[in-house]
């Protein structure tokens, strides 16, 4: 009993110390592009409640996928988060893979991108991919905690098996080249289930935040709903990975719906509370 009590005290003390560092609330979210064929799930029917959801959870950094220009501007204006939208990396898809952040808390030191193909520096489909894919990265300075960290945000191809496998290997290579041994967060819609090779590859050097969380994961296991209210939420294809210089305090998949009873997007967002280790 004494041993269990001591373990509890040590855990609470560690958690308190981490939170005293001003933890970061981060959200990864495939927002579903503005598609005129979405009928009841049109962007215009969902966008206000998406902004309300982001504000409700006091998100400090939002990593989005499928954000078209008009959507990116709406998110910036509604959430008051600054988007990394100045580079037109979008290729023929029009997506930004934007990283939106609280300018009061973070200073953007540098940013960049690379394409998920054999060349990495020119627009083009990689391997057997059906679409043009890329990764966006930023280096932030945390004004309160006085430390630096990197975020990589990406969206793997939805059809190309080879492309997803190669994209995972490329991500690790580029992360090492760009960020070295710094604290690292990788977010995105990877279109791959936990047992597949792309996820196994990433886990050779990074930790799945669901598994690394100090507290038990909340919400459903799956992150894809397809706007289908009858679908079982067991398909997990969205992720947040970290290296050993980032502590994940909490992990939650948000399954909230709109006031009309539909999903806010065809993916569920993942919210983590984390600390950058000094």
What local confidence, expressed as pLDDT, does residue 9 receive? 44
d(CA 90, CA 96): 6
The whole-number average pLDDT for the span 175-193 is 98
Q: What is the predicted pLDDT for the residue at 1?
A: 56
Token pair for residue 153?
């945000």
For residue 134, give the DSSP letter.
Answer: E
211 pLDDT more than 90: yes
- The pLDDT of residue 18 is 47
Is 70 exceeded by the pLDDT of residue 176?
A: yes
Write out pLDDT tens, residues 87-126.
Answer: 555 555 689 999 999 999 999 999 999 999 999 998 899 9
- Edge to edge, the sheet with strand 61-65 lists 82-83, 99-101, 61-65, 24-30, 270-276, 246-253
Q: Among 19, 48, 13, which residue's Cα sits nearest to residue 31?
A: 48
Q: Is the pLDDT of residue 218 over 50?
A: yes
Would you state the pLDDT for residue 10? 45
Helix axes 69-79, 43-56, angle to 10 degrees: 40
Find residue 274's DSSP bridge partners.
24, 248
Task: Give residue 241's pLDDT.
Answer: 99
Q: Using CB atoms within 10 A of its CB, is residue 187 exposed (0-12), middle (13-18) or buried (19+)?
A: buried
**pLDDT in the model for residue 85:** 80
Q: Comparing C-alpha atoms, which of 241, 277, 269, 259 is closest to residue 147?
A: 277
In this prediction the pTM is 0.92
Q: What is the pLDDT of residue 89?
A: 58
Mean pLDDT, all residues of the chain: 92
Asked whether the predicted pLDDT for residue 250 surpasses 50, the reply is yes
Spell 198-225 as b/e; 16+ CB within 10 A means b: bbebbeeebbbbbebbbeebebbebbbb
How far is residue 94's CA from residue 66's CA, in Å, rounded to a whole number?
A: 8
Contact criterion met (CB below 8 Å) for 275 and 23? yes
What is the C-alpha to C-alpha distance for residues 220 and 222, in angstroms, rounded to an integer?
6
pLDDT of residue 46: 97
Q: In what order do the strands lie in the sheet with 184-189?
A: 106-115, 134-142, 147-155, 184-189, 238-242, 207-208
Q: What's the CATH class of domain 22-276?
A: alpha beta
Residue 126: what pLDDT?
Answer: 96
Per-residue model confidence as pLDDT tens digits over 33-45 = 999 999 999 999 9
């Amino acid at each position: 009993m004494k041993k269990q009590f001591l373990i509890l005290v040590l855990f609470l003390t560690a958690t308190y110390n981490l939170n005293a560092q001003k933890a970061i609330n981060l959200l990864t979210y495939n927002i579903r592009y503005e598609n005129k064929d979405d009928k009841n799930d049109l962007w215009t029917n969902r966008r206000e409640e998406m902004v309300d959801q982001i504000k409700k959870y006091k998100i400090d950094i939002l990593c989005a996928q499928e954000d078209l220009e008009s959507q990116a501007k709406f998110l910036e204006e509604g959430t008051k988060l600054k988007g990394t939208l100045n580079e037109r990396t979008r290729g023929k898809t029009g997506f930004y893979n934007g990283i939106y952040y609280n300018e009061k808390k973070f200073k953007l030191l540098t940013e960049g991108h690379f394409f998920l193909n054999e060349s990495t520096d020119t627009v083009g489909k990689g391997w057997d991919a059906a679409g043009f894919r890329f990764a966006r990265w930023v280096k932030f300075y945390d004004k309160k905690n006085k430390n630096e960290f990197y975020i990589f945000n990406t969206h793997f191809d939805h059809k190309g098996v080879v492309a997803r496998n190669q994209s995972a290997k490329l991500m690790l290579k580029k992360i090492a080249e760009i960020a070295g041994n710094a604290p690292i967060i990788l977010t995105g819609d990877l279109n791959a289930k936990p047992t597949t090779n792309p996820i196994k590859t990433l886990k050779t050097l990074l930790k799945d935040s669901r598994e690394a969380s100090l507290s038990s994961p909340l919400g459903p296991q799956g992150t894809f709903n397809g706007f289908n209210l009858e679908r079982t939420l067991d398909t997990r294809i969205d992720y947040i990975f970290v290296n050993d210089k980032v502590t994940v305090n909490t992990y939650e998949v948000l399954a909230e719906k709109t006031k009309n009873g539909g999903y806010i997007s065809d993916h569920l967002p993942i919210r983590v509370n984390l600390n950058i280790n000094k």
